[in-house]
Amino acid sequence: MRTTKSYPLDNPEQFKKQLFAWSRQFDEITWLDSNNYQQENSSFDALLAVQAFTALKTDYHQAFDQLQEYQETTKDWIFGYLSYELKNDVERLTSKNYDGLRFPDLYFFQPQKIIQVKGNNAEFHYLRMVDDEMDEDFNEILNRSETHNPQPTIHNPPLKIEARISKEEYLHKVHNMLEHIQRGDIYEANFCQEFYVENCQIQPSAVFSKLNDISGPPFATFLKLEEHYLLCASPERYLKKSGSKILSQPIKGTARRSENKEEDLQISRALANDPKEISENVMIVDLVRNDLSKIAKKGSVHVDELCKVYTFNQVHQLISTISAQFEEGLPAVEALRATFPMGSMTGAPKISAMEIIEELEETKRELYSGAVGYFTPDGDFDFNVVIRSILYNAEDRYLSFSVGGAITAKSDPEKEYEECLLKAKAMREALSS
């Protein structure tokens, strides 16, 4: 179905920049960049998929059934996203909050052209209908003089970023969340708030490049599907399937970085031993273990790593790794259906947490708290968690980014608000030009 051809690279980093610049001509783009992050479970340095041959775009009604049919019928690489609103497909839930972005709830496409960069090699996977363009495309990419994206538009006056809720409202809502916890309705919930800009025009690829330079995360994503854009600097993996192995790596626990090396090390050590942050993470690990048990071989769910500190450009994070053996005979999509939305963005118990989140938050999360990724022809997949991200509807000129954190019985509302501002810092900086 696809023709594959490899090309040696003299300068992989320069080629990545040229490749991303070349991709901007297409209407459908998925760009996945690991930023050379040294992790055992990365399949590539960068992966580009462009130019839809077929596509699936739908709301949440029977979305996972439609995705399963599309994936099994296509039997090819497909790239796309699952929005948080698919919770309404897997549980008897609703979403009635304000929606300024108007993204489809699910969107996948079968690309005509896929280019994977790994080490000193670029591998082209083209549908046969376009495989005669491989050499021409490779040479065109190599000859791009524009290795970097254009500079972002200088906004004069600067973009007016507004908070959907005030600090006072945020603190009040966290207190409300704590009352739910004290009553025993939930143990933990991820509470988020939106920042937005109306009637704005940006250069998405330039803003993404700046955001990616600031954050340098292992699951960076640039997504363009018609007028819908995602500029994502996510450090978190949601779920990966490789053969019979399933892997989830939830993040819970955040601390700032310091330019002073000694202080930075102290902050990292303090995070590793912080009872409140550890309890957040352990609660979500238990939830993920429970979710994976629905689609795993009996007795195969295992916590490979618990509350390990990982350091990124902007923050230190506590990350746990949970693995399982996928039950034979189940469709690949079932692993996503059984575990979505990811526990790190909901809370525990999951359904109660999602109901309370819907009650207290002011806007639909849309693609934020969802996942972006791909399926391979043999049914393997890899999806990130959409956090530290800017969402943009170019037709409506509406821009949005959301941030949040886990609320537990030990949460201090003021500190939770400060954590939100810390997580928003990179997005604000990327939009500041």
For 289-329, what is each residue's pLDDT tens digit? 999 999 999 999 999 999 999 999 989 999 999 999 999 99
- Judged against a pLDDT cut of 80, whether residue 370 lies above it is answered with yes
Query: What is the model's pTM?
Result: 0.95
Specify the pLDDT at position 37. Answer: 81
- Judged against a pLDDT cut of 80, whether residue 342 lies above it is answered with yes
pLDDT tens column, 23-60: 999 999 999 999 988 655 678 999 999 999 999 999 99
C-alpha distances out from residue 335 to 111, 124, 276, 292, Å: 23, 29, 30, 8
Angle between helices 413-430 and 204-215 (to 10 degrees): 130
Residue 236 appears among annotated catalytic residues? yes
pLDDT average, residue stretch 277-286: 95
Domain assignment present for 275: yes
The tally of domains found in the chain comes to 1
Domain assignment present for 153: no
* Residue 433: pLDDT band with limits 50, 70, 90: low
- Judged against a pLDDT cut of 70, whether residue 199 lies above it is answered with yes
Domain assignment present for 98: yes
pLDDT tens column, 409-423: 999 999 999 999 999
Neighbours of 162 (CB within 10 A): 10
Domain assignment present for 151: no
Domain assignment present for 225: yes
Specify the pLDDT at position 146. Answer: 59
* Residue 331: pLDDT band with limits 50, 70, 90: very high
Domain assignment present for 150: no
Could you tell me if 109 and 71 are in contact, meaning their C-beta atoms sit under 8 angstroms apart? no
User: Which residue out of 28, 85, 194, 236 is catalytically annotated?
Assistant: 236
What CATH number does the domain containing 225 carry? 3.60.120.10
Domain assignment present for 148: no
Specify the pLDDT at position 42. Answer: 74
Domain assignment present for 149: no
- Judged against a pLDDT cut of 90, whether residue 157 lies above it is answered with no
Q: Quote the domain boundaries for residue 55.
A: 2-143+158-430
User: Which residue out of 16, 87, 173, 252 is catalytically annotated?
Assistant: 252
Residue 252 appears among annotated catalytic residues? yes
Provide the phi-psi class of 332: left if phi over 0, else alpha when psi is between -120 and 50, else beta.
Answer: alpha
Specify the pLDDT at position 1. Answer: 85
- Judged against a pLDDT cut of 60, whether residue 193 lies above it is answered with yes
Please classify residue 194 by burial: count the beta carbons closer than 10 Å to its beta carbon, then call 0-12 exposed, 13-18 middle and 19+ buried.
Answer: buried
Cβ-count burial 333-355 (b if 16+ within 10 Å, e if not): bbbbbbbbbbbbbbbbbbbbbbb
Q: Average model confidence (pLDDT) for the chain?
A: 95
